[in-house]
A and B are shown apart, each in its own frame.
Chain A
Amino acid sequence: MPKVTVDGQEVVVPDGATVLQACELAGKEIPRFCYHERLSIAGNCRMCLVEVKPGPPKPQASCALPATEGQEIRTDTPMVKTAREGVMEFLLINHPLDCPICDQGGECDLQDQAMAYGRGGTRYHENKRAVTSKNMGPLIKTIMTRCIHCTRCVRFSEEIAGVDEIGALYRGEDMQITTYLEQAAKHELSANVIDLCPVGALTSGPYAYESRPWELKKTLGIDVSDAVGANIRIDSRGREVLRVLPRINDDVNEEWISDKARYQVDGLTRRRLDRVFIRRSGKLAEASWDEAFKAIAKAHKSSGPGASIAAIAGDMVDCETMFAAKALLKASGSSLMESRQTGMDYDVSNLAAVNFNSTFAGIEEAQAILIIGSHVRWEAPLVNVRLRKAVKRGAKVFVVGPEWDTTYKAEFLGTDLSVLNKLPASVTDAFKAAEKSAVILGAAGFAAGAHEAALGVAGKLKAEFNALHTAAARMGALMLGFAQKGGIADIVAAKPKVVLALGADEVDWSAFGDSLKVYSGHHGDKGAHAADIVLPASAYTEKAGTYVSTEGRVQMADKAIFAPGDAREDWTILRALADALGVNVGFDSFGELRAAMVAEVPALGDEGMIADYGALPAAPKGVKAAGEIAAYPIKDFYLTNPIARASTVMQQCSAELLHGDALKEAAE
């Protein structure tokens, strides 16, 4: 723990810290372009110059200089200021003065730091360098003349994403950042380089020329495109969400989000349900709320009390919506609730057995990891980043399931689940040697019924058990009791008169032939197609809500914009429906609803905390794994939910990045 002096102030810094970090600890702001906390140190922008004694009598790049005992660091001398001004002048020599038409304007590191270190005018009278812009795919727009060669994007793609696709070609003044032969960046996290770019060289393609940052209302939200619960900032103007950016949360998403989380939002304005519809002689026709509620009440009354109404929660609904539905069902005397839309029926009597117990940050420390039936890169790209970090620290990863490109070294054990009964020696040895190890059961593993077998394997290997869900609503739903013993089949067997589909689009609705199917959701997707009554509700950006991630972390999102047309917040629809059905749910406002929810499930009130599900159940004995994981449930990363399916950007990504080669072949 060296002790250094920064501008006369003594600070003790951790071992291995750099001078830049020491300055930050002392509260000094050091300008920088190439340095980034989560990337390796490049030291090529030279903006972070400081004076360090003992050392050569010249400014030093603080980002690449280790802090050592007794250093005297000065960040406020005229020499430091002059040196930084010199660096800034060199950077601006070839940087175009196009801030007025640059999308980075207003949130540009170069612009901000030029305010402090830039000259009023230029002394450079030669020709400026011009670089052709490069194709990097549908998401990243490039204006490479603006590039200052910090190489953050190169380091991100190599170190974090694990796909070496961006590189710096040529040298010196001719250096150019590009992908190989200008192929599109094919990675689920590729758009994070837009945030990393300190200038306007890499900007957001879909958001190009849409807005200025200061025009946007910033709302804190939670991403619902997967079950990681990435912290996002929703930037909106008027009634439209213009973009989504990541928020920093070291425990969850660090500072990355997947391309789907970032770019599905244009789907929020397309294919929206903004009116009430009732199916009349086979066709959905516009109707009023009153008519719809009356029709539901009529169907409900036509049977006796009890199992006359059921609720199926979709993958993206918030806990409040589900609780409101639960309260409505309870008041009507029903408990037919399910959230596992595709018919899975794993045991949920102990939620620790369906939770990601290692936590995302914790999985980085695992030394042996067995993945059962999970295409982690598509099911939870941010978890894959963590796994990659673990491998970089020396972890061994084994996967049961069809092969996929892991971005790190992993051993595939085949698709036959019976391999779990007698694991190869390489696996057992790795787990025996590991101090911390983990078993991850993914969507395909659940679907193949490997839950008990996976618990058994985790017990046998003395590894932490982790369930990796794909639905943002799943853990919250399970906490609220949205699960039947036999899954959806139990609800089908109960033959309810009314089925409330809360944004449920993946259900096989043909099994509910006799029921009145009421779809309350935001997109005209599969659920609405099958519905008898469509009630327009809000998407995740249009309502406040609580979400529980697959690691059991309870997080709350705020409302960014109003829902379009006649659409209402989900809980208000269910509250109004309660009146129509003549029952009392016990809340009249969102505050009362949330209070009632927290009273019933106290863990849902602890924002930001991981819910305590208690100890894992004893590993079931004598369970034999059988069957095969033939394929993963996610067939197309970019089109997994109704919002993404409605999004033109996601459709374009799917077409170009996933099926681009096939399209090209067809054209030839």
Chain B
Amino acid sequence: MAGRHIAPDTPELRARWGGWTFTDANREKADWHIKKYPEGRQKSAVMPLLDLAQRQVGEETDTQGWLPLPVIEYVADYLDMPVIRVLEVATFYMMYNLVPVGKFHVQVCGTTPCMLRGSDAIIEACKARGMRFGEVSADGLWTLTEVECMGNCATAPMVQINDGNYEDLTPERLNAVLDALATGEQPKEGTQEPGRHTSEPAGGPTTLKEMVDANHDYRSAW
């Protein structure tokens, strides 16, 4: 959170991103989002449009994407709303990147459950690979961010890399995921614990054990 800031408004930024527009495919998607809302309430579509814009910027720069000011202004113009209102939204949500990021945006959850399960070691592992908070690594691949709870506490610790979650991490498992990503492979998303499918209790069920194989009436036990 802290240190989040808008990329400065420089002539270079204007030169690079001035005149940016949606691609035809994205314009179609944007209009589809706008049509979800009643006439005159097109402003409601600001969040999906900002996301579309960020993804398009990502494709153009081969990164996760971010929101340069001219792009934010374009979205404001597209929705006919004051640019400060769009900027409020873009700065409010962590999912919108306000500065350039790498190809893989490694968002480590550092909230209490993940921290108790070893997120500090995960962060150390990331740093050991040369990542620094809020910076793009020299090879342009990595950006490290610490984020608040991502809702995967049952499979803590976890990281979110672009659109995928990687859970039940240890430094070794994380390194395996990152190595795979770096070589262009797509590692398995979700839990990295062998034998675990999703977020079911590790080591088998701890409650409602009778229910595993067949339906069981617990009412007599109440």
Contact = CB atoms under 8 A, between A and B. Distances in A.
Q: Which of B2, B6, B82, B84 has the most CB of A within 10 A?
A: B84
Interface of A: 164-174, 179-181
A170 B1 CA distance: 9
A180 B1 contact: no
A170 B4 contact: yes
A172 B1 contact: yes
Interface in B1-58: 1-2, 4, 6, 9
Given A170-B92, A171-B91, A171-B92, A180 B2 contact: no
B87 interface: yes
Nearest to B92: A171
Contact of A167 (B2, B6, B9, B85): B85
A171 B83 CA distance: 17
Interface residues of B, number: 15
Q: Which of A164, A170, A174 has the most CB of B within 10 A?
A: A170
B76 to A, nearest CB: 9
B9 A168 contact: no
A168 B89 CA distance: 9
A180 B87 CA distance: 8
B88 A169 contact: yes
B1 A169 contact: no
Contacts of B91: 169-171
B84 A167 contact: yes
A406 B88 CA distance: 24
Contact of A169 (B9, B69, B87): B87
29 contacts: A164-B81, A164-B82, A164-B84, A164-B85, A165-B82, A165-B84, A166-B84, A167-B84, A167-B85, A167-B87, A167-B88, A168-B88, A169-B6, A169-B87, A169-B88, A169-B92, A170-B92, A171-B1, A171-B92, A172-B1, A173-B1, A174-B1, A174-B2, A174-B4, A179-B84, A180-B82, A180-B84, A181-B9, A181-B69
Contacts of A167: 84-85, 87-88
Contacts of B83: 180
Nearest to A174: B1
A180 B1 CA distance: 20
A621 B82 CA distance: 46
Contacts of B1: 171-174
Interface in B72-94: 81-85, 87-88, 91-92
Contacts of A170: 4, 91-92
Contacts of A172: 1
Interface of B: 1-2, 4, 6, 9, 69, 81-85, 87-88, 91-92
A179 B83 CA distance: 10
Q: Pick the 8 closest A-B CB pairs, nearest first.
A: A164-B82, A167-B84, A169-B91, A180-B84, A167-B88, A171-B92, A170-B91, A180-B83
A169 B91 CA distance: 6
A664 B14 CA distance: 17
Nearest to A182: B9
Contacts of B92: 169-171
A170 B82 CA distance: 17
Nearest to B91: A169
A164 B87 CA distance: 12
Q: Which of B1, B6, B91 has the most CB of A within 10 A?
A: B91
A169 B84 CA distance: 9
Nearest to B88: A167
Contacts of A181: 9, 69
Given A166-B84, A168-B88, A169-B6, 6 more contacts: A164-B81, A165-B84, A171-B91, A174-B4, A180-B83, A180-B84
Nearest to B81: A164
Contacts of A169: 6, 87-88, 91-92
A180 B81 CA distance: 13
A366 to B, nearest CB: 22
Contacts of B2: 174
Contacts of A166: 84
Contacts of B69: 181
A440 B24 CA distance: 46
A173 B92 CA distance: 11
Nearest to B82: A164
Nearest to A170: B91
A317 B61 CA distance: 65
A164 B6 CA distance: 19
Nearest to A179: B84
A179 B6 CA distance: 13
B96 to A, nearest CB: 11
A167 B85 CA distance: 7
Nearest to B148: A172
Nearest to A167: B84
